[in-house]
Chains A and B, each alone.
Chain A
């Protein structure tokens, strides 16, 4: 599903974010990216989404070399990739329902599809009763659920999560991880960058550890260490 071949990403001022990184992630896998701040976890996620382009190496997503992808085709790549962030990135002037509906609306889904899919996904994340609430009326955990609903409403092949539990307390984090696990069980490949030791150790899934841009460990059913 995702394949990195000797990928190197250098930011301005010769900051090497990723050096010669290779990995092969199968469909339906759940992968943790761990490592200290600045080790290249977020860069790796941004490369998969083509928010960044690598200096060297190739990246394949769903069998396609995304380096060969025309700029105008990038939006269509992103429709196959859901994204979840530490800061949720919800639109504060829209309700929970509107936030999720927005994701379908901007990719041109017809109204009747939006009307059935949005309540269904909000039901799945356990927010059916808060559809008309605004983000500031929700707890952090609930806001993250909305953001997961938005990322998943289009049933993407891949879900990228950048520190999704970074702003949440341990109990809430468990709930979010259960949700991500459920999504993973539907066949969606999940790649999650995290600092959260307990989450990684509880889940016992594949762990890719980065240190200063280099992959130093790739272990199936690993722990944080």
Chain B
């Protein structure tokens, strides 16, 4: 059956205008829920990105000088093998180290392209048996002085504190997002219900003259979809604004935010997730409402 686009657009616009206050409330609620979801996702990504070097339970990294000789490199490797506190080690050659560097600065071409693989320091990633700060400190003092070693970086308490508090914040905000998300679903169902109630005479006539249920339903579902998309667009706007204005202040303030990095790629991916989530909530809510209240 031909469902004309101009018909759907016209009816959807009428419904949205008729219910302006409720439309606004729905859009705002969806925006809040999705902002919370988006922030939680981005926090995880940001923590991951800032701690990319320590991924895979690595507690200590021995950076070698770019011009370290193979003998010096092997000597450090042997030293690590002989150390009773070292569980395992992994050597990152120039290419691998450069790839990791590029991952950290994915969206900052100036920094990203500043090092060629040959210039990127190679390193040993070390998994320590008993990762207490004393063990890590002793490793640091032992290897810092070896020839060919540039720097020994330890996974300090800060990283773990950062991961812990961000994880807590994430679980809290995801829980909160679930509650607000459920609220927005109820609001969508209600706004569709009111729209259908306002148009019950039209719907009655439509059914009498033989309009199919889908024909009646689609403008209402489009209404829910528009609300969902507007809400997620607003949520994406809020997330972008937070990243642009709030994040630099937090990061420069240090503390658990020290080293927190969020690249545009992360925000882009999260934005797409938010948009899809908003659209799904809108379509699902309005489809439920339209089906439930269509029975004239």
Using a CB–CB distance below 8 Å, which chain A residues touch chain B? 49, 72, 75-79, 83, 89, 91, 102-103, 105-108, 110, 150-151, 154
Contact = CB atoms under 8 A, between A and B. Distances in A.
B208 A91 contact: no
A103 B205 contact: yes
10 contacts: A72-B212, A76-B210, A77-B210, A78-B207, A83-B208, A89-B205, A105-B4, A106-B211, A107-B211, A108-B2
A106 B204 contact: no
DSSP majority for the B interface?
helix
B234 to A, nearest CB: 31
Contact of A108 (B1, B201, B204, B205): B1
Contacts of B202: 91, 102
B11 to A, nearest CB: 10
A75 B207 contact: yes
Contacts of B216: 106
B210 A75 contact: yes
Contact of B3 (A72, A89, A108): A108
Contacts of A110: 2
A215 B206 CA distance: 32
B7 interface: yes
Classify chain B's interface size: 10 to 19
Given A108-B1, A108-B3, A89 B201 contact: yes
Interface of B: 1-4, 7, 201-202, 204-213, 215-216
A154 B210 CA distance: 10
A105 B201 CA distance: 16
A106 B209 contact: yes
B209 A91 contact: no
B204 A79 contact: no
Contacts of B205: 89, 91, 102-103, 150
Nearest to B3: A108
A107 B208 contact: no
Contacts, number: 55
Given A106-B210, A154-B209, 11 more contacts: A75-B207, A78-B208, A78-B210, A79-B210, A102-B202, A102-B209, A103-B209, A107-B210, A108-B1, A108-B4, A154-B210
A91 B201 CA distance: 7
B209 A150 contact: yes
Nearest to B211: A106
Which of A49, A79, A107, A154 gathers most chain B CB within 10 Å? Answer: A107
B209 A108 contact: no
Which of B3, B206, B209 gathers most chain A CB within 10 Å? Answer: B209
A11 to B, nearest CB: 17
Contacts of B3: 108
A107 B207 CA distance: 10
A212 B164 CA distance: 76
Contacts of A151: 209
A150 B202 CA distance: 13
Contacts of A76: 210
Contacts of B213: 72, 75
A136 B210 CA distance: 25
Nearest to A83: B208
A79 B206 CA distance: 11
A131 B95 CA distance: 79
Given A89-B201, A91-B202, A105 B7 contact: yes
Which of A106, A107, A154 gathers most chain B CB within 10 Å? Answer: A106
Contacts of B209: 78-79, 83, 102-103, 106-107, 150-151, 154
